Structure 1
Amino acid sequence: MARPLLSLRNARTRLVLTSMVLSTLLTAAVLTLVYVTANRTIAGETRSVVTAELTGLADEYERRGMIGLLTAIERRLENAAERDALYLLTGPRGTVLAGNMLRWPPGVEPGSGWVELDLIKTDSNESVPISAASIRLRGGERLLVGRDASARRQFDRVLIRSGALALMAALALSLLTGWLLTRLVFSRLKDIARTADDIVSGDLTRRIPMRGTGDEFDQVAGTLNEMLDRIEELVSNLRTTSNSIAHDLRSPLSRLRQRVEALSDPALSADDRETDALRALGEVDHLLRVLGQLTEISRAEAGLGREQFEPVDLAQLAGDVVELYEPVAADQGVKLQLTGAADPIPGHRPLLSQALSNLVENALRYAPEGSTVAVNLGGKDGYAILSVSDQGPGVPDTDLPRLEQPFVTLDPSRSSRNSGLGLALVAAIARMHGGAFSARNRDPGLEATLTLARSRRAHAARPPLPS
């Protein structure tokens, strides 16, 4: 059953309504503030003017008496209509002496403060709203000064009507804005949801579409696509590794079975029995070595051991490895040398030593007699670069991408004892340290390179390719 469009269970509806309510409340608050501020300002100005006039007329009365006061009021009445000004002077018994109002407002005591009431003007004979203040003079006379409030009330009505229209416009605008915003957001979320559904269905090649705007949605999509690339790579490696384990361990397990079966043959001589036992132990050692390397690769791929990172002096580490393998190189008639320098990096010292040892062993395996195996240190763009090059036969260019794949052995003559996991472990250790493994042919020989991040922040960045 389709969900109603305006159902409150619909996230889009809730977002639109929330946006509409918040925008309306904010607009109403702003308009109310404008209305109150405008009224207070106008009322304050009116009170200031009326109070000043009232004080001025009282001073005129004190200085010049009643004649001076009447003259001042008559002078002000000449332009009173233009200023919406109101004046009224009465005797002690209420007799109108001057002004443009018919009579003293009932119930208003002189000096009672600011009042707002309706009075009849003499020039129009109409009742008008006024705001006024009054005083009692020394001789008992009563003086009232005010302003016609009709214009202010008209202003209030216009302001309220305009505020209502602005509020309705803000309501419509917030509704449209909320709808457009949720349409944009949910359309991008639908792209992510569709991609996720396809991936759950088994299509690991699907990626979140990017619209090329460079906005936050594209940035999130790019990050998620990189994550999906990595997941696809890991799943592919897992499948390849699983298939390779099933295929490559079958032969040593079969040989181990044959050795064990041979040991049960009563006709077997003691020497042959000892030979088969030693061969069986060799097969077991080989299997244990393969499983150990697979465990190390899995741990490195999962990032286990990062909590053991410490500052590692690559120059010292490389020097220790070179010193360890110099006797082996000398026995083969190969010169092993160390060049260059690199800054310390945060890393797992034993694993980095294992990776460099694997590279040196691989280079010595194919280095011809009388040649040189060079271990070189360097740096570039926030990364430390450690490379090992030999002068051997190299690798076909088409096989270079396969070097870091598990169980890949390009030398068939060595496949019986070489599991093909050495360079796969090196690549896993490089990725664990925010870097990468690469290899390229030289003339002659092969150069294998480890690119390692110099800081933990750089672990998420893409390492530079060796020049």
Structure 2
Amino acid sequence: MAKPLILWRNARTRLVLASMILSTALTALVLGLVYVTANRTIENETRSVVTAELAGLRDEYERLGTIGLMAAIDRRVKDAADRDALYLLTDASGNVLAGNLARWPDGIEPGSGWVNLDLTRMSSGDDVSISAASIRLPLYERLLVGRDASARQQFDRVLLRSVGLALLAALALSLLTGWLLTRLVFSRLSDIAQTADDIVSGDLSRRIPVRGSGDEFDQMAQTLNDMLDKIEELIGNLRMTTNSIAHDLRSPLSRLRQRVERLTDPESVAPEREVDAARALAEVDHLLRVFSQLTEISRAEAGLGRDEFEDVDLVSLVRDVTEFYEPVAQDQGVTLSIEGQATPIPGHKPLLAQALSNLLENALRYAPAGSTLTVSLDQADDCVSLTVRDQGPGVPDDQLDRLSQPFVTLEPARSDQSSGLGLALVAAIARMHGGQFEARNCSPGLATLITVAR
């Protein structure tokens, strides 16, 4: 009892059975309609022929009387190409006057409509099933015209047998079709399940096979693979961030511990304690900045704050942020320049301002004195690009992709107090706004830019 229950719980079995039942039911309905239509067509044709013959024989009777009608029936019996034609003419007492039937059927009144009955053929003495109609003539003679129904019954048997064979063929075909369909569907589902199992086992590089057919399964597989690429990227960033946190924070925490130990040393003198206290506070401030930036990156990656999106005038935002850094630039002998225009976009204004601030701080850190630092806006159909370009030394081309990774430090791109999270936060903010971060060497200088969806 358990085995059939397990089979019924199998989705493939249920799908095959459903396909088989639906296909068979549809085939049975179509064949049933064919059978009924064929029978009605044959019956209507037979009735039309018999009705026409009755009308013709009645005309013979009205023109030539009973004797003429008898002669007409005899001619039709002898010369009929259709040997299934049956005729019977009797007088008012039921005596046979003409035709090829032995007697008038019991219980049948002339003019009672279309009837199916069994009578005896006069020539052979065999009982035959007939379909017939009858009329009463003016002198009370009774006229019956019909057709042998045995041929139609044989046709019914052949048709029913054909319908049965067609149903069996449809059943077998639907079973095969269902099996092939489920094999196709479940083979693709098996690919997805196997890939998922491998990923659960720890192999994040596994992807769902794309067979190149371009069908919905391939489209779904490509979408899932894109999702897996994103998940692998996020997990890789998480691992790298975790490792970087463990590595980069070990030194400041160790220094902080040493300074606190010296502060608690009773033999230390006041000036040394003041220096250690100041440096300990600096280390704490540095750690707080790191954790604050990590929190901001996590919130941006998670999309928190999208409900705070508003129309942001990038031109005004660029002008305000640039004016804020103007004194710093003047102290370094750097000229700030703004270029380009853009229409307002939906975005998180404080985060976009933070991203631009990080780009400017990064550029000012190694922009040479006497150079120009350019902030430009470039609008396209579906996005707006915000670029900050300096005229500094740039970075090696093979290191450009690493700039937005957390805790990555490339000399001279950062000072000793930099946490290596500024550009990582910029990249997270760009992704939050449906765009991306990019860095490229301009010879001279480095251009860092973010694209934001419109």
Matched, 1:308 2:308: yes
Question: 1-side partners of 2:45 and 2:88: how far apart?
Answer: 21
Question: 1-side partners of 2:269 and 2:441: how far apart?
Answer: 51
Paired position in structure 2 for 1:87: 87
Matched, 1:165 2:165: yes
Question: 1-side partners of 2:399 and 2:234: how far apart?
Answer: 20
Residue correspondences, number: 453
8 Å Cα contact 1:90/1:141 also seen in 2: yes
Paired position in structure 2 for 1:132: 132
* Amino acid across the alignment from 2:216: E
Paired position in structure 2 for 1:102: 102
Query: What are the equivalent positions in structure 2 for 1:184-203 lying under 5 Å apart?
Result: 184-203=184-203
Matched, 1:346 2:342: no
Deviation at 1:358, TM superposition (A): 1.3
SS, match of residue 8 in structure 1: helix
Q: Deviations over 1:320-368 (max 9, x none)?
A: 3233333332332222222223344332222222212211221222222
Structure 1 runs not aligned, ≥5 long = 455-467
Deviation at 1:152, TM superposition (A): 1.9
8 Å Cα contact 2:414/2:420 also seen in 1: no
SS, match of residue 410 in structure 1: coil
Structure 1 residues 206 and 4, CA gap change in structure 2 (3 angstroms): farther
* Amino acid across the alignment from 1:183: R
Q: Deviations over 1:388-446 (max 9, x none)?
A: 21111111011111101000111269453100101101111112222211111111111
Structure 1 residues 52 and 235, CA gap change in structure 2 (3 angstroms): same
Paired position in structure 2 for 1:457: none
Structure 1 residues 413 and 59, CA gap change in structure 2 (3 angstroms): closer
Q: Deviations over 1:167-205 (max 9, x none)?
A: 111111112122222222222222222222222221111
* Amino acid across the alignment from 1:325: Y
Structure 1 residues 289 and 77, CA gap change in structure 2 (3 angstroms): same
8 Å Cα contact 2:57/2:72 also seen in 1: yes
8 Å Cα contact 2:438/2:450 also seen in 1: yes
Paired position in structure 1 for 2:120: 120
8 Å Cα contact 1:116/1:130 also seen in 2: yes
Quote the sequence identity (%): 73
Deviation at 1:387, TM superposition (A): 1.8
Question: 1-side partners of 2:248 and 2:58: how far apart?
Answer: 115
Q: Which segment is superposed worse, 117-126 or 39-48?
A: 117-126
Structure 1 residues 144 and 4, CA gap change in structure 2 (3 angstroms): closer
Question: 1-side partners of 2:134 and 2:396: how far apart?
Answer: 109
Paired position in structure 2 for 1:180: 180
SS, match of residue 82 in structure 2: helix
Q: Which segment is superposed worse, 12-21 or 169-178?
A: 12-21
Deviation at 1:17, TM superposition (A): 2.4
Q: What's the RMSD between the two structures over aligned residues? A: 2.7
Deviation at 1:126, TM superposition (A): 3.3
* Amino acid across the alignment from 1:132: A
Q: Which segment is superposed worse, 256-265 or 438-447?
A: 256-265
Structure 1 residues 185 and 134, CA gap change in structure 2 (3 angstroms): same
Query: What are the equivalent positions in structure 2 for 1:216-255 lying under 5 Å apart?
Result: 216-255=216-255
Deviation at 1:218, TM superposition (A): 1.9
Q: Deviations over 1:105-141 (max 9, x none)?
A: 2221212222111223345543322111222223211
* Amino acid across the alignment from 1:391: Q
8 Å Cα contact 1:409/1:415 also seen in 2: no
8 Å Cα contact 2:437/2:449 also seen in 1: yes
Paired position in structure 2 for 1:111: 111
* Amino acid across the alignment from 2:161: R
8 Å Cα contact 2:355/2:426 also seen in 1: yes
Structure 2 runs not aligned, ≥5 long = none
Structure 1 residues 230 and 450, CA gap change in structure 2 (3 angstroms): same
Structure 1 residues 361 and 70, CA gap change in structure 2 (3 angstroms): farther
Paired position in structure 2 for 1:371: 371
Deviation at 1:242, TM superposition (A): 0.6
Question: 2-side partners of 1:62 and 1:332: how far apart?
Answer: 130
Paired position in structure 1 for 2:210: 210
SS, match of residue 130 in structure 1: strand
Question: 2-side partners of 1:344 and 1:95: how far apart?
Answer: 108
8 Å Cα contact 1:263/1:277 also seen in 2: yes
Q: Deviations over 1:151-170 (max 9, x none)?
A: 32222112111111111111
* Amino acid across the alignment from 2:24: T
Question: 2-side partners of 1:365 and 1:415: how far apart?
Answer: 8
SS, match of residue 449 in structure 2: strand
Q: Which segment is superposed worse, 115-124 or 176-185?
A: 115-124
Question: 2-side partners of 1:317 and 1:42: how far apart?
Answer: 87
SS, match of residue 304 in structure 2: coil
Matched, 1:421 2:433: no
8 Å Cα contact 1:210/1:221 also seen in 2: yes
8 Å Cα contact 1:392/1:445 also seen in 2: yes
Q: Which segment is superposed worse, 293-302 or 342-351?
A: 342-351
8 Å Cα contact 1:114/1:131 also seen in 2: yes
SS, match of residue 140 in structure 2: coil
Question: 2-side partners of 1:302 and 1:103: how far apart?
Answer: 98
Structure 1 residues 426 and 87, CA gap change in structure 2 (3 angstroms): same
Question: 2-side partners of 1:18 and 1:408: how far apart?
Answer: 58
